[in-house]
Structure formats: structure tokens, C-alpha cells
Amino acid sequence: MACWVYEGMLLFAVVFVAGWLFSTLGQMRDAMDERRHLLQAFLFVVFGVYFVWFWIHGQTLAMKTWGLRIVDRSGRPLRQGRALLRYLLSWVWFLPPLAAIAPFSLSGGESALLIAGWVVVWALLARFHPQRQFWHDAWAGTRLIASKPLSRR
């Protein structure tokens, strides 16, 4: 989970640059622009490219720091299709609470509490997996293993 939090901090830079690029090229004047849903879709794609690219190479920047590597069930590096499947399945961490928030006009604090509560519940559900994996990894046929950073050689 510490790696996950660190990954979020690194993604801040990715969101900043991608959001700036999108809003500058699209000449968006404010955050409530009617194209904000297009920006969200663009960021979804940017995140997908970021994660898939790093996962097919074995590690994201945060995974290198925390000594983790992503492999398939056989211990081989991920191929692009499996990495994309893992990316899509990893949205289970956020989509259920976001879907629950959508029909109600919850405050920011209530929304944050609902999302944080779901993340905790979803993380605890990994205790019920036989290898104590997160369920999106089990469904995608991937697993995290301890590893030193991969060299460029």
C-alpha cells in the first residue's frame, strides 16, 4: 500500500503535465468547462499508457523504490494485453464508490470518506485470497514479487 501511495504522488506530475497540455491546446479557460469530461477521458488514457508502458518493462518508478516487480503467473514479464487488462481491472479500487457517489450530491468530505472506506475494504479483501493477492491481480493473472530495480543492461 505504501508503494500505491507513493505512486499517487508521482502521478501528480503526470496529471499536471497532461492536464496543462490538454487545457492549453484546447484553450480551456476554467475547470467547469463543458469539455472537462473529455479531459477526464484523456487522463484515463494517459494513465493507461503510463502504467502499461512501465508494467511491460517490469516496474513503475514507485515499484523500483519499494523493490517490487510485476510478472504474470509464470513469473515472466507482462505482455501489453495483460498489462492493459490489469490497468482496467485496477479501477475496481475506485469505480464502485464513484458510481455510488454519482446519483447523490455528496459533499467533498463525504465523497472522500466513501472512497477511502472502499479502498480500505478492498485492500482487506486481499486477506481472503489464497496467496493474499489483490483481487485485480488474481483476475488479470499477474502478481507482485519482491525484486531489486531492473538494470538497463
**Which tens digit of pLDDT belongs to each residue from 63-92?**
988 899 999 999 999 999 999 999 999 998
CA nearest to 61, candidates 9, 17, 136, 1: 9
The string of pLDDT tens digits covering residues 127-149 is 888 888 888 898 999 998 998 76
Q: How much is the pLDDT for 99?
A: 86
What does the pLDDT read at residue 78? 95
What is residue 100's predicted lDDT score, i.e. its pLDDT?
Answer: 85
Give, in degrees to the nearest 5, the angle at Cα 108 between 7 and 10: 15
Taking the C-alpha atoms of residue 53 and residue 153, their distance in angstroms, rounded to an integer, is 18
- Tens-digit pLDDT profile for residues 28-63: 776 666 777 888 899 999 999 999 999 999 899 889
Residue 11 pLDDT: 92
Give the global pTM.
Answer: 0.82
Burial class (CB in 10 A: 0-12, 13-18, 19+), 124: exposed
